[in-house]
Structure 1
Amino acid sequence: MSELNFRTEDLTLQEVGDYFVETSMDRQTIDKLKSKKTVVLQGARGVGKSFLLKVAQKELDESFSDSRILAVYVTFNKAGLLQTSNPERFKHWMLAKVCNRVIREARKKGTLRQQSTIFATLSHDGTDEAAQIRLQELERDLEDAWKNEGVSSKFDSGIDPEVIKDAVEDLCLQAKVRRVVLLVDEAAHVFIPEQQRQFFTLMRDLRSPYLSVKAAVYPGVTYFGDSFQLSHDAEMISVNRDILDPEYLNAMREIVLRQDPSLLPQVKKNGEVFDALAFAASGNPRTLLKTVSAASPLNTSNAQRVMREYYRETIWSEHSALADRYVGHRAVIDWGREFLQTHVIPSLRTRQRQSEEPDRRVFLWVHRDAPVAVKEALRLLCYSGILHEAGSGLVATRGLVGTRYMLNIGTRTGAEPEPVSATAWLRKSISIKRMMEFGANHDLYEDIARLDVEEMDEEGREFLKSQLHRSVDQLDMTAFSRGVLKQLGFDTVGKILTASESDFQQAKWVGPVRSRQMMNIATAAVLEYLSG
């Protein structure tokens, strides 16, 4: 079996097109990403936000000569390196990065053949090329400032949102470009609320007839700020796949087979086993790819082992590990895990054994007036993919209003003696109308209700430094890549951040192409780790 790719960052645009399995929901989402609308794309880690952004970029690139719509993809995954005492650093880094990427894509498409006076004013010699070089240097200076906080760094990029809008308008009018679509991945660094508020203010300020912004964010840990009103300033789109959709299992199967067609005989022979893994993944392609890869060769015994390991241990330990990076939220993180593992899941399993009609509930309902700390704990569980919000403002028993959540199927069945058969049994009669309800003053809230969530948001500035010594073993990458990094001596987060492609070429059989791939994989894993 060939190695499956878990991350969009590891794929070329051509591979993105080859691996794309279109559903009606995906098509609607991609069309909105290509439209004039301002869009916030929300989903947990691994559900496919980056992939959909890349598909939209690829389609716009291929149709540019006819549509004249310029796609500009930009990732903010290095935002975690800008955790400093100077709040202006992040603002000017964002502005420089956006402006630089617009220039870069416009040059690639040949639309800057004539000098753009707005862009050119950003450089001393008055050319677009010089402006791009200056902006690239500014990006690097700001991203590298974490290495020595004491060294002064220039913070003023000379850009503001109005400058970017004017430059884009000039570009469109001069080059007959209809509009620019800005696709922002990793838009808001997960654990720095102030950076998130700055980004969404910028997102609102950049909106114009010639520029539309689309941004990918995580559920549960996104702070929009006071100046950005989601209901008025953007359309929210959830990427969560509906496990009750009749086409769900076929789509998930095709996602795996597009990457590795050689798996088809195993999947056909062990169809129910594959379906259990797909259903347990609860709509998350990355989770499915990981569990299928770990269960190779695919059979009941391997799938049972993987489901026990992943859904009883790995997914929970990853959630608890957030407390090391999100120190202010340690109490709610721990409470959320205990709430589900100690109370909710055992309660469902107990009912299954005692009642004549087995309990197939996987939905929870929580009253809208539940303590803020409780809702914060549930939001963080959504970020980890253990819960999925499945509707707000919903009426439950006695006409009360609250929010519905779906429990990750794997966490529900992974605790069973035979997770594969338990998952097959469960998926036959799940009903979205059957919920486990928790009122506004449930007894289980007692230990968490008194926490002050506002105090949790005050993040320490020493976060980055505290993470640099952590082992490469904690990064989400393949065993092969991890082994090569260790062999070369890059065994910690800090060492990887300071490495270069030439360093990786010291390994046997690693040349320029392979070293670039390794650098991209290693950097993506480090930056996702720093983002949570």
Structure 2
Amino acid sequence: MNNIDNFETDSGLILAAEECPPAEFEKYHSFSSHDEVIIRKLSAHGPVLIRGGRGSGKSALLIEASRRMKTSTSVLPVYVSLRYLPLLQSDGQEYIEHFCVLLSQAIQKELGERGSNQDFPTAVDEGSLQFGLTTLAQSLGMRIVLLFDDAAHIGREKPLEVFFDMFRTLSSNLTSCKASIYPGVTKFGVRFDVFNDSTVIDISRSDVSTSPDFFPDVIRARYPRLAERSKFSDRLGPSEFANLLGRSVVGNLRGFILACNRFDNKDKIGIPDVQQCMLDMASDYFWPLMEEVAPKLGIYEALVEPARDVMEAIVEHATKSVKSSHRTIAYDRVLIHRQIVSQYLKIFEILEYLGFVAKREASRALKSGGRGPIYAINLCSLLESTPSRRLTSEMMDEWLQGNGEAAELYVASAIFQHIKLPKLPDENGLAILNKEIKLLGRSSAYPYGLTEPIIQRLRAAGMTTVGELANATDAELDRIDYIGRAKIKVIRDVVFQAIWM
């Protein structure tokens, strides 16, 4: 084992719950009363799908539910991360075989950690897996809860029908299946009825007025210095600061953590500092995020540029009244006629997935007639487009209260008229796998990326593309000088982030 490694966990760069050391999970994660309801549903009987955008907290909820069930004597929880490259690259019977082996190994690991003498054979097909689960549940006298994380990849839809068929098949009175999915996932197959065969829970934390304690609690747990009143100016308190950052990124926890990281070295924080953070997040995080995610979207990579155009049009519409001096504060939400949303459905799913918008309501009446969903707009992008680009106390109050009017896009609106949707290509895998590993270096798009010395060592060892690095074994990585166990985990985490969003 190559033990030369000086790595220490940086809490600011733990961007995914799966990457948080188990011993520190409780320290860095906080759950609201609404989250508690979701966790109870994940622990209860019956199939559940939790749906949310990139970095919205789906994995944290699944892991927390699993942690709590581990203390029960009537339930055997099995958490399975499906961040497994062969699953992403296979379909049909090959996918089923990989899936069965992966789940079998996770069950064996859980039984081992419990000190159980119960054996679980490695299944290679659907029938033997189902029989093994039934036998195990009966032998233990326990209900089994399977929690599948990263189950549905927005850019690789072909194997999803196989997964949801398995999800439906494995669900029984002895086995409960739970899974996390993205907003853009729509391919559930012919046998799986998403609303009849499961309970769907949408995760949204964009409305901080309904959960005013959530983001302050996260700050206290993860950045205790930013919870001290003495750190802030007279016009800005720690709770306002936390909720404003949370609302600015439409409740996206990963965006929230990256925003908080920008205040690590500040002795005093005022409204101008938050304003600069929001403007910087817009220019060097959110817009570059589209470029980062594009090669992971498979056939939907072609929709990234139209998505950028749609977002720019939404922001322009929301700030138009400020630019014409009819209002002093830009609309922070937009009500869009359902026919427009239907026409650009995948675009809106991508924008919601990336944290540019968040759906607040599924249907509300427009003044001009018809109905449509309400989307909360990312305040970073909104502030960037206002004439003064200046954050005021009045703007903060209105945006945090969430009771102002919403801008409306009625059915005859022409603001998207210039945006043409390209024809989608045939399925041909994910472009990210063929990208050079230098793409994984630390940057605005990859703040959690690899250092240049690590990249150079990997390249010298013959790993030049993301796909080659993803397929490398731990033994191969360990043979490289100055790369030990801790850095192998860091490399794995970065590769997972790169491929699985």
Bin the TM-score by the shorter chain: 0.7 to 0.9
Compared with structure 1, are the counterparts of its residues 477 and 57 closer, same or farther at alpha carbon in structure 2 (3 Å cutoff)? farther
Identity of aligned residues (%): 19
Aligned partner of 1:198 among 134, 143, 162: 162
Map 1:111-190 → 2, pairs under 5 A: 111-113=116-118, 119=120, 128=121, 131=122, 157=124, 159-160=125-126, 162-177=127-142, 179-190=143-154
Aligned partner of 2:378 among 387, 402, 408: 408
1:372–1:449: 8 Å Cα contact kept in structure 2? no
Q: Structure 1: which amino acid aligns with 2:248?
A: A
Query: 2:392 aligns to what SS in structure 1?
Result: helix
1:394 and 2:357 matched: no
Map 1:324-473 → 2, pairs under 5 A: 324-326=295-297, 328-341=299-312, 343-370=313-340, 372-416=342-386, 417-421=388-392, 424-427=396-399, 429-431=401-403, 434-448=405-419, 455=424, 458-461=426-429, 463=431, 465-469=433-437, 471-473=439-441
Give structure 2 stretches of 5+ with no counterpart.
1-8
- Measured in 2, the distance between the counterparts of 1:166 and 1:225 equals 23
Aligned partner of 1:252 among 206, 209, 215: 215
- Measured in 2, the distance between the counterparts of 1:10 and 1:425 equals 35
How large is the Cα RMSD of the aligned pairs? 3.1
Match in the other structure for 2:72: 64
Match in the other structure for 1:518: 487
Map 1:69-80 → 2, pairs under 5 A: 69-79=75-85
Compared with structure 1, are the counterparts of its residues 222 and 504 closer, same or farther at alpha carbon in structure 2 (3 Å cutoff)? farther
Deviations 1:180-208 (A, max 9, x none): 10010000122111112221111111110
Compared with structure 1, are the counterparts of its residues 501 and 519 closer, same or farther at alpha carbon in structure 2 (3 Å cutoff)? farther
| Higher helix proportion | 1
Deviations 1:62-96 (A, max 9, x none): x223xx20010001112476425x64322221122
Match in the other structure for 1:34: 43
Match in the other structure for 2:4: none
Q: Structure 2: which amino acid aligns with 1:94?
A: F
1:308 and 2:282 matched: no
Deviation at 1:58, TM superposition (A): 0.7
Match in the other structure for 2:469: 496
Match in the other structure for 2:258: 290
Q: Structure 2: which amino acid aligns with 1:170?
A: T
Aligned partner of 2:15 among 6, 9, 22: 6
- Measured in 2, the distance between the counterparts of 1:315 and 1:293 equals 15
Deviation at 1:500, TM superposition (A): 2.8
Aligned partner of 1:276 among 244, 268, 276: 244
- Measured in 1, the distance between the counterparts of 2:172 and 2:342 equals 36
- Measured in 1, the distance between the counterparts of 2:92 and 2:104 equals 19
Instruction: Choose 269-278 or 395-404, whichever is displaced more.
Output: 269-278
- Measured in 1, the distance between the counterparts of 2:478 and 2:487 equals 7
Match in the other structure for 1:151: none
Deviations 1:441-485 (A, max 9, x none): 532343456655xx45x3214746523555222787656853552
Compared with structure 1, are the counterparts of its residues 168 and 396 closer, same or farther at alpha carbon in structure 2 (3 Å cutoff)? same
Deviations 1:288-309 (A, max 9, x none): 1111112332334554433222
Aligned partner of 1:209 among 173, 177, 188: 173
Deviation at 1:406, TM superposition (A): 1.6
1:361–1:431: 8 Å Cα contact kept in structure 2? no
- Measured in 2, the distance between the counterparts of 1:27 and 1:400 equals 36
Match in the other structure for 1:141: none
Deviation at 1:404, TM superposition (A): 2.1
Map 1:213-252 → 2, pairs under 5 A: 213-248=177-212, 250-252=213-215
Q: Tell me the matched-pair count.
A: 476
1:40–1:214: 8 Å Cα contact kept in structure 2? yes
Deviation at 1:265, TM superposition (A): 3.5
Match in the other structure for 1:149: none
Deviations 1:390-420 (A, max 9, x none): 2224322244122222212222224444554
Give structure 1 stretches of 5+ with no counterpart.
120-127, 136-156
Q: Structure 1: which amino acid aligns with 2:29?
A: F
Deviation at 1:359, TM superposition (A): 4.3
Deviations 1:196-254 (A, max 9, x none): 22211111111101101110111124422222111101111112114243543x32122
- Measured in 2, the distance between the counterparts of 1:280 and 1:164 equals 45
Q: Structure 1: which amino acid aligns with 2:72?
A: F
Compared with structure 1, are the counterparts of its residues 330 and 489 closer, same or farther at alpha carbon in structure 2 (3 Å cutoff)? closer
2:39–2:61: 8 Å Cα contact kept in structure 1? yes
2:55–2:255: 8 Å Cα contact kept in structure 1? yes
Match in the other structure for 2:103: 98
Q: Structure 2: which amino acid aligns with 1:363?
A: R
Deviation at 1:7, TM superposition (A): 2.1
1:362–1:407: 8 Å Cα contact kept in structure 2? yes
- Measured in 1, the distance between the counterparts of 2:454 and 2:229 equals 32
Aligned partner of 1:528 among 493, 497, 501: 497
Deviations 1:336-355 (A, max 9, x none): 211221x3222332312434
Match in the other structure for 1:150: none
- Measured in 2, the distance between the counterparts of 1:420 and 1:461 equals 43
Query: 1:390 aligns to what SS in structure 2?
Result: strand
Query: 1:180 aligns to what SS in structure 2?
Result: strand
